[in-house]
Chain A
């Protein structure tokens, strides 16, 4: 190859300039997306990481403190409380809302009367803003004259301060978020189910497979790409959704319903401690990146994509 190149330098130079132009073209095409990504994603991330290593004095000057903020965070009981809360919140909402979404999708995918109405009904919570949802459920959970307590009254049970009791507040939020999210995830499952060829079900039924067997061995594995997509979204949402806390609990009582992002918001805008907020944000970013890595690095390879 080198001999050939040496004996004919002109074609080689032409090839090299063509490759150069190709590269320039490629970068130009990537430029708009790259500018937006760098300006609004990559740069802020780097700035946050840098910011977490400094503290800002009252006069505006920054002082490098290294990992002192991280040390303070490790010693902060509210941070740990928020992290544990977030874990239970995720565990409570994700599997149930996904399972519910799948059941609803299979149910409304059938040919039946009132199918459109049922789909709409399941999807309605998604359309409502979180603030509105929180207000509706605030009424359900209101002690004594809320819907839930009136129902309890029918059975002769006394009132209960659902959101005011540390033992029930998280459960209440979880139920509400499941109600809000399941319909959204259902839409993805419904779309995926409609992509599946009815021939597969028929072929399985001719082989004598029961409905459950067909679902377990054919439908569910073929829905795995959707399940993964929905699961990733659900995980991100469990860290991202905090609007309802502002309306319903403000993280209380006794931080029993504080989630990580809500704590970050409080630290940054109520306590005005932006460098500690940056430190907490780095933790959140690390968690979310780990989930993304798990998806792209491991799960994607184990799932059948059509």
Chain B
């Protein structure tokens, strides 16, 4: 009983609508990622769920209970902050058991739970240290420990990995996901990093200007972006959007090939070698397009190449509304195969 539901929730700061009529559901035991560029309202949405901000309109329920007007403590949630929000004057152990002390949990139980949590997050040998004596990754673990010792069914995370280096971020990503599944928590995870969203989420909610742009599984967002915005946001590098006449066509870089006698003439602008593959940045009728090629590509900047892709890989968007055109994509495919 820990599903989270937002029903037509809004929050404004003066004239700015930070969260504009949002409805979503995080199923019990699932990990929902709120994804979007900075200022899109994802953090505000999380703070509304936590009760750190009060909603102007709409209702929020956790486990079927309406919590819209409840204080953060009454919502029985835990939260990890972007800054970790560790208490600098308290030791690691005291930071982790802070909430247990507040709730006057007995000493014996406190110690037992601290031992268990310290083992889970791998901090057993650092319990006497102060946060300032820890590395970034270790601080992150303390924040995690403090969140899971409460044994709350709901855990909220506000960009928890944004202060870590790339390698550690990769490790912690896997660890947080494993922990969430092992403890069966319902987790809402805010990030602007689409890699985190794609690798961790059961469901991704992509936000833009306080509204939900698309709500679906990572696979759906990748394979069937509902708008050009989603298409441009998801994928590294993201989907190419090319204007052809009055059509807006999207093609993933990995679906484009460099072939002699391809349909589209392009000029190579730059080549990025990533090792396993190379990203070739080209120019097609004055529009940029990136192509992912396997291995160490030998294409040179300034070279003229011809590109080709299968019509089945084309995504079509309405140039005015930027919404996905479902039927015309299929028609388009028929048209190309006929031509």
Asked if B77 and A206 make an inter-chain contact with CB atoms under 8 angstroms apart, the answer reads: yes
- Which residues from B are CB-within-8-Å of A208? 73, 99, 102-103
Instruction: Indicate whether A269 reaches chain B with its CB closer than 8 angstroms.
Output: no
Stretch at the interface among A35-43, A197-205, A240-248: A197-205
Asked if A197 and B71 make an inter-chain contact with CB atoms under 8 angstroms apart, the answer reads: no
Q: Known contacts A208-B102, A213-B102: does B77 contact A218 (CB below 8 Å)?
A: no
Contact of A222 among B72, B88, B102 (CB under 8 A): B88
Task: Mark out the residues of chain A between 183 and 217 whose CB falls within 8 Å of any chain B CB in the assembled complex.
Answer: 197, 199-200, 202-209, 213, 217
Asked if A199 and B83 make an inter-chain contact with CB atoms under 8 angstroms apart, the answer reads: yes
Q: Mark B78-92, 1 if CB is under 8 A from A, else 0.
A: 110101010111000
Asked if A306 and B73 make an inter-chain contact with CB atoms under 8 angstroms apart, the answer reads: no
Contact of A199 among B71, B81, B98, B102 (CB under 8 A): B81
- Which residues from A are CB-within-8-Å of B34? none
Asked if B71 and A222 make an inter-chain contact with CB atoms under 8 angstroms apart, the answer reads: no
Instruction: Indicate whether A253 reaches chain B with its CB closer than 8 angstroms.
Output: no
Asked if B72 and A205 make an inter-chain contact with CB atoms under 8 angstroms apart, the answer reads: yes
Instruction: Indicate whether B52 reaches chain A with its CB closer than 8 angstroms.
Output: yes
Give Cα A252–Cα B146 distance, bound, in whole angstroms: 61
Instruction: Indicate whether B9 reaches chain A with its CB closer than 8 angstroms.
Output: no
A137 CB, min distance to chain B CBs, angstroms: 40
B46 CB, min distance to chain A CBs, angstroms: 12
Task: Mark out the residues of chain A between 222 and 255 whose CB falls within 8 Å of any chain B CB in the assembled complex.
Answer: 222
Q: Across the interface, name the chain B residue whose C-beta is closest to A304.
A: B89
Asked if B85 and A203 make an inter-chain contact with CB atoms under 8 angstroms apart, the answer reads: yes
Asked if B99 and A207 make an inter-chain contact with CB atoms under 8 angstroms apart, the answer reads: yes
Q: Known contacts A204-B98, A205-B73, A207-B102: does B81 contact A218 (CB below 8 Å)?
A: no
- Which residues from A are CB-within-8-Å of B78? 206
Task: Mark out the residues of chain B between 59 and 113 whose CB falls within 8 Å of any chain A CB in the assembled complex.
Answer: 71-73, 77-79, 81, 83, 85, 87-89, 98-99, 102-103
Interface centre among B81, B130, B146 (most CB of A within 10 A): B81
B81 CB, min distance to chain A CBs, angstroms: 5
Majority secondary structure, B binding face: loop
Q: Across the interface, name the chain A residue whose C-beta is closest to B84.
A: A199
Asked if B52 and A202 make an inter-chain contact with CB atoms under 8 angstroms apart, the answer reads: yes
Asked if A207 and B98 make an inter-chain contact with CB atoms under 8 angstroms apart, the answer reads: yes
Give Cα A217–Cα B95 distance, bound, in whole angstroms: 11
- Which residues from A are CB-within-8-Å of B79? 203, 206
- Which residues from B are CB-within-8-Å of A204? 98, 102
Instruction: Indicate whether A44 reaches chain B with its CB closer than 8 angstroms.
Output: no
Instruction: Indicate whether B150 reaches chain A with its CB closer than 8 angstroms.
Output: yes
Q: Known contacts A207-B73, A222-B88, A304-B88: does B102 contact A202 (CB below 8 Å)?
A: no
Task: Mark out the residues of chain B between 129 and 169 whose CB falls within 8 Å of any chain A CB in the assembled complex.
Answer: 130, 132, 146, 150
Give Cα A287–Cα B79 distance, bound, in whole angstroms: 50
Q: Known contacts A205-B71, A207-B98, A207-B102: does B83 contact A197 (CB below 8 Å)?
A: yes
Contact of A206 among B73, B87, B88, B132 (CB under 8 A): B73
- Which residues from B are CB-within-8-Å of A203? 79, 81, 85, 87, 146
Give Cα A164–Cα B150 distance, bound, in whole angstroms: 63
Instruction: Indicate whether A221 reaches chain B with its CB closer than 8 angstroms.
Output: yes
B228 CB, min distance to chain A CBs, angstroms: 36
Give Cα A203–Cα B77 distance, bound, in whole angstroms: 11
- Which residues from A are CB-within-8-Å of B146? 203, 207
- Which residues from A are CB-within-8-Å of B51? 206
Asked if B85 and A197 make an inter-chain contact with CB atoms under 8 angstroms apart, the answer reads: yes
Asked if B102 and A209 make an inter-chain contact with CB atoms under 8 angstroms apart, the answer reads: yes
- Which residues from A are CB-within-8-Å of B117? none
Give Cα A218–Cα B85 distance, bound, in whole angstroms: 11
A227 CB, min distance to chain B CBs, angstroms: 13
Interface centre among A199, A200, A213 (most CB of B within 10 A): A199
- Which residues from B are CB-within-8-Å of A206? 50-52, 72-73, 77-79
- Which residues from B are CB-within-8-Å of A207? 73, 98-99, 102, 146, 150
- Which residues from A are CB-within-8-Å of B132? 306
Q: Across the interface, name the chain A residue whose C-beta is closest to B76.
A: A208
Contact of A218 among B52, B72, B83, B87 (CB under 8 A): B87
Q: Across the interface, name the chain A residue whose C-beta is closest to B99.
A: A207
B143 CB, min distance to chain A CBs, angstroms: 9
Contact of A306 among B72, B77, B88 (CB under 8 A): B88
Give Cα A306–Cα B87 distance, bound, in whole angstroms: 11
- Which residues from A are CB-within-8-Å of B73? 205-209
- Which residues from A are CB-within-8-Å of B87? 200, 203, 217-218
A306 CB, min distance to chain B CBs, angstroms: 6
Task: Mark out the residues of chain B between 185 and 201 whose CB falls within 8 Å of any chain A CB in the assembled complex.
Answer: none
Give Cα A217–Cα B88 distance, bound, in whole angstroms: 11
Interface centre among A204, A205, A208, A217 (most CB of B within 10 A): A208
Give Cα A197–Cα B99 distance, bound, in whole angstroms: 19
Asked if A199 and B150 make an inter-chain contact with CB atoms under 8 angstroms apart, the answer reads: no
- Which residues from A are CB-within-8-Å of B88? 222, 304, 306
Since A205-B71, A207-B98 are in contact, a sample of 20 more A-B pairs with Cβ atoms closer than 8 Å, ordered by chain A residue number, is: A199-B85, A200-B87, A206-B73, A206-B78, A207-B73, A207-B99, A207-B102, A207-B150, A208-B73, A208-B102, A208-B103, A209-B99, A209-B102, A213-B102, A217-B87, A218-B87, A221-B89, A304-B89, A304-B130, A306-B132
- Interface pairs A-B: 10 shortest CB-CB: A207-B99, A208-B73, A199-B85, A304-B89, A203-B85, A206-B72, A209-B102, A221-B89, A199-B81, A208-B102
Cβ contacts A to B, 8 pairs, < 8 Å: A199-B85, A203-B87, A203-B146, A205-B71, A206-B79, A207-B99, A217-B98, A222-B89
Residue numbers of A with Cβ under 8 A of B are: 197, 199-200, 202-209, 213, 217-218, 221-222, 304, 306
